[in-house]
Amino acid sequence: MPTLCRPHVAVPEHVVTAEETLDLARTLHAGHPQLELALRLIANTGVRTRHTLQSLEATLKHPGFEERNLLYEKEAKVRLPQVIETALGHAELTAPDIDMIIYVSCTGFMMPSMTAWLINSMGFRPETRQLPISQLGCAAGGAAVNRAHDFCTAYPQRNVLIVACEFCSLLYQPTDLGVGSLLSNGLFGDAMAAVVVRGQGGHGMRLEHNASHLVPDTEEWISYAVRDTGFHFQLDKRVPATMGVLAPAMRSMAAPHGWDIANLDFYLVHAGGPRILDDLGRHLDLPAQTFRHSRSTLTERGNIASAVIFDALDRLFAEGGTPHGGQGLIAGFGPGITAEMALGRWAAPHQLGSAAAEALASGPAPRTCPPLTVVGGRA
């Protein structure tokens, strides 16, 4: 059964505090007719610190979309290899053991994808499959987990590397003065993450079921306007209300498998903002402590888009995980509005079955599976 191993998450060195964000908003938008509302919304995000690729002074400058995208590519190539190597180490694998790379990012564009550069630069085999995901925004981390799950279910001896790279600060648009844009300027942070899904062996979250759900007629609620100056993030105030639809969707996903979505041992949920977590907890009748890992990510790093669920997962690992066999949920929410959800059980390393423990100790299984031609089946 596929196992989502421990991720590695890294953030850039520049730190922006909540106080700096609020002071900056007061300075830059002193005459804004809705400044007090924007300040209140920013303060209510619960974000205390965020990390940015550049200094605050450099972030506020807009040198043009081309220069920003070149910076995205340059910095990703410099920073990602170490993140990936650490994640491979957590999974006790090396680059040649990987059969597919899923790269998720919505804050920069490359073609060929970053996957091609990684294969050429880090020792991955030329046969490694590539799956770039660029238009699912914050939901892309969950989608990557689910596509890796599907792949490893079809080919149980294969392994997938997921890489998330989100430099949200490169999307700052000084001319966007709507309240939603001002809120976004105080919410999003930069981060990179990598994690391996092992087809066999490993410890972490054993993936059992996955599902997607699209909330009808919400395409414009989270979106990009693509203009000469780059990507302009657009956020509708109705977004938090979608938990009233997505909570029942989670119940519907879990029920056929005999799982009670409101009675799991761990929850790793995208932290789009505190209202999302509060409403989800209310609809599922769960205490606030349930989403402590997601809340910690939001507080310390802001909304880091597709990397949020991996940061929350890393915090669960740091906490020691759950008892062996504990049931859990991973859920990412993003444009569409789309939810990508996965259910699984915690596999503690010291309680793995003998076959699994042996596989973990000896590394990847022999590659005796058939050629990858048609992928069928679903967990």
Residues tagged active-site: 138
For residue 212, give the 3-state DSSP assignment: strand
For 226, other C-beta atoms within 10 Å of its C-beta total: 11
d(CA 133, CA 109): 11
Instruction: Say if CB 150 and CB 210 are below 8 A apart.
Output: yes
For 369, other C-beta atoms within 10 Å of its C-beta total: 14
- Burial annotation 176-196 (CB, 10 A radius, 16+ → b, else e): beebbbbbbbbbbbbbbbbbb
d(CA 91, CA 86): 9
Q: Indicate the pairing of strand 204-214 with strand 8-10.
A: unpaired
Q: Which residues, 6 or more positions from 342, have their beta carbon under 8 angstroms from its beta carbon? A: 142, 145, 146, 149, 207, 209, 210, 211, 329, 330, 331
d(CA 17, CA 167): 17
Helix (H) or strand (E) holding 187: none
Work out the end-to-end distance of the chain between its first and last CA atoms, rounded to an integer number of angstroms: 10
